[in-house]
Chain A
Amino acid sequence: MKYACRIIDLKKEYVLKSETVRALRGATFDVPEGDFVAIMGPSGSGKSTLLNLLGCLDKPTSGSLFLGDDDVARMNDDQLAEIRSRRIGFVFQSYNLIQQLTVVENIQVPLIYQGRLGRKEHKRCLELAAMVGLGDRLSHRPAQLSGGQQQRVAIARSLVNDPYFILADEPTGNLDSRTTEEILQLFDRLNQEGRTIILVTHEDEVSKRAKRIVRLKDGLVQWDKLNSQETREEAARNALENMPVEV
């Protein structure tokens, strides 16, 4: 089996005023290609720390984190930046689009830092914008878009570098239930097309839509279970049924 990422005994400690905070105490799990994992856990469980490590924004104190065949735990700052631009697709809770850029330009940002932005890449950005349903808003700026639309731009941006996995941090946290559903359906579709998705959330409803749930507690993996097909379908059905009716 090919893995999008493998986490082996990953530890992370922070030193805060002579006190050592052990945020991650040796988490271990694999994410095979094509998986759709929800990472859950209460605050203080090490969820954010794991997210930062998976996103190559931070370096672990010990342990290994393989993206493909590379152990990113041994990389320096520039190499991590390189990995981020080539291998990871970020989706954030607050969309994090760059305000002075248009939709297409926002989608292109990771390519700029790979130093490749030709005609072919530009065409791909247009296709991605069309795929997330924003083909008619290419030259809009983020401020002119709704939250759901902004998040779809962010998803298109996360796909532009053909990443090992999409790393989504509470992607529906700022959205209403209807838009949340749209975004989750989009993730579902991407997953069916073969994309690996790692989704960090604290909402049970959202986590039920993933194929698998990894739950953290006190810096360790508390449990790791698969969602049955029935659970996922039921969650999707419930979401639709519970949606408020528009008058």
Chain B
Amino acid sequence: MIWLSTVQLAIKSLWLHPLRSLLTVLGILIGVSSVIWLLAISKGIGDEARKQIESLGADTIIVRSIKPPAEKLSTQGITPYGLTREEFDMLVRTVPTIKSALPIRELRRQFQYDAKVIDGRLVGCTAEYAEVNKLKVARGHFITEVEGFNRDTSCVLAHKVAERLFPVQDPIGKRIYMPESTDFYTVVGVLEPKNASAAIGGSLSAQDFSGDVYIPILTLQQRIGDMIRRQSGTSFEYETLELNQITLRVANVTDVKRTATLIEEVLSGHNRMEDIAVVVPLELLEQARTTQAMFMVFMGMIAAISLLVGGIGIMNIMLATVTERTREIGIRRALGAKRADIVRQFLIETSVLSIVGGITGILIGLLCGPSVNLAREVVKWWSPRTIAQLPDVIRTVQPQILLESIPIAFYISLAVGIVFGIYPAMRAAKMSPIEALRHE
């Protein structure tokens, strides 16, 4: 009863200065919503990165060939670099924990059907490629082991290639032409659309699967070979590379790190050239988790600072209020209010401020996702070039509201209200009723 009437009284007293109360509430509101927003955004960014790493698979180890820096290549002739088929066989034979191994060779190529010519990526791989990269077949089938073994000239088209080369016809069974290698391939399957995977770390660049054409790696080796001729201006550049990537899967996730160490050992011959990189998604995942945790702590601290500022706002206002209402305090004391009653009255007032701020802050915090999207849409409409220049993360991030951030934000705001309300309330209670009554 007494609490209820004190709350009523607090609301009445705050209503005496609506603008002042509103501004004080605003301080808390901004603090609380920024706690939720910053945590949601950092969670969104972190989750995105983690999802990408997870899509590589926690049980995989990726070894990639990297074009070595120019000074390490001899100026005369063509220096082969990167992973070799021999190394691939060696890894499969000598590392016992490997469950499966997938060799990959990638080339830029032109593809042609009738008069339509498009640029794309020719990927030589085995049947496992679709499973490892989670590619789904829309029509037909992915290249099979038999086709690989027979070095068939079958190919599978990514959806964009199929769309461009075969806007109306059914691509299955058609033969596409590759002008650079003067060769025909028969389409045996078409893939469903797949979103590009973003870059992870420095060693694994973004992969856009939409312009790919897949053929058996043995076919590629036989018909195209290891030497690539690239035209730059009027001169030609040659390079020799056997495999772009080997994706290894480890039977047991607990063996991933040991296996990676072993692989690095086996491939230590490449250390001098620095022409390969071993990427362990599991390690990246762990790093990403740590980074995300640090990021969130950091963001939380920034938000906490804004809450602190809000709290100081409350204290400031309450000190002014206490001075202004000295007379009222005197009257209440004379009419029988104990010091505790006065403390309670002012504490409830600050609590009302901070609870109102907390609740509205949470509501605004919940609008985080839609607001971020809206902001992006507005920027896109207002200046499409700006949005194009923004980094990927900002363009794609979907804030993930942390459920636990809601009660945390609420209790922190309440605590801020109480902590910063205590001093003014004590000051009010400490006044002598005689002095307070005399106050004009």
Report which A residues bind B (CB closer than 8 A): 52, 55, 57-58, 77-78, 81-82, 84-86, 90, 92, 96-101, 109-110, 112-115, 117, 157, 161
Chain A residue at minimum C-beta to C-beta distance from B433: A57
The verdict on B335 contacting chain A, using a C-beta distance below 8 Å, is yes
Of the A-B pairs whose beta carbons lie under 8 Å apart in the complex, a sample of 11, sorted by A's number, is: A57-B433, A84-B334, A84-B335, A86-B336, A97-B331, A100-B9, A100-B16, A101-B12, A110-B335, A110-B336, A161-B336
In the bound complex, do residue A78 and residue B13 qualify as a contact, i.e. CB atoms below 8 Å apart?
no
Which of B276-284, B337-345, B374-382 touches A?
B337-345
Alpha-carbon gap, A82 to B331, bound state (A): 14
- Complex alpha-carbon distance, A78 and B13, angstroms: 25
Taking the nearest CB of chain B, how far is it from the CB of A135, in angstroms?
22
Distance, CA A16 to CA B32, complexed state (A):
49
Residue numbers in B under 8 Å from A77 (CB-CB): 338-339
C-alpha gap A78/B434 in the complex (Å): 15
Q: How far is the CA of A84 from the CA of B338 in the complex (A)?
A: 10
Any A CB within 8 A of the CB of B128: no
Binding site for A on B (CB under 8 A): 1-2, 5, 9, 12-13, 15-16, 327-328, 330-341, 432-434, 437
Residue in contact with B327 in the complex, picked from A84, A96, A110, A112, CB distance below 8 Å: A96
The residues of B that contact A110 with a CB separation of less than 8 Å are 335-336
Q: How far is the CA of A113 from the CA of B9 in the complex (A)?
A: 13
A38 to chain B, nearest CB (A): 21
**B338 neighbours in A (Cβ, 8 Å):** 77-78, 81-82, 113
Report the separation of the CA atoms of residues A157 and B437 in the bound assembly, to the nearest whole angstrom.
Answer: 17
Distance in Å from the Cβ of B103 to the closest Cβ of chain A? 81
Cβ-defined partner of A81 (8 Å) among B9, B15, B330, B336? B336
Q: How far is the CB of A58 from chain B (nearest CB, A)?
A: 6
Q: Contact: B328 with A98, CB < 8 Å?
A: yes
Tell me how far the C-beta of A80 lies from the nearest C-beta in chain B, rounded to whole angstroms: 9
Contact A157 B434 (CB under 8 A): no
Q: How far is the CA of A130 from the CA of B336 in the complex (A)?
A: 24
Query: Are B16 and A90 in touch, CB under 8 angstroms?
Result: no
> Which chain A residue has the least Cβ–Cβ distance from B12?
A100
* A-chain residues with CB within 8 Å of residue B15 when the two chains form the complex: 100
User: For residue B337, which residues in chain A have a CB less than 8 angstroms away from its CB?
Assistant: 81, 85, 113
Closest to A58 in B: B434
> Please, which residues of chain B bring their CB within 8 A of the CB of A161?
336
- Using A96-B437, A109-B332 as known contacts, list a sample of 11 further A-B pairs with CB atoms less than 8 Å apart, ordered by residue number in A: A78-B340, A82-B338, A92-B437, A99-B328, A101-B12, A112-B2, A113-B332, A113-B335, A113-B338, A115-B2, A117-B2
Question: Contacts of B437 on A, CB cut-off 8 Å?
Answer: 57, 92, 96
Please report the C-alpha to C-alpha distance between residue A97 and residue B333 in the assembled complex, in whole angstroms. Answer: 13
CB-nearest residue of chain B to A87: B336
B334 touches A90 (CB 8 A): yes
A226 to B332, CA, bound (A): 34
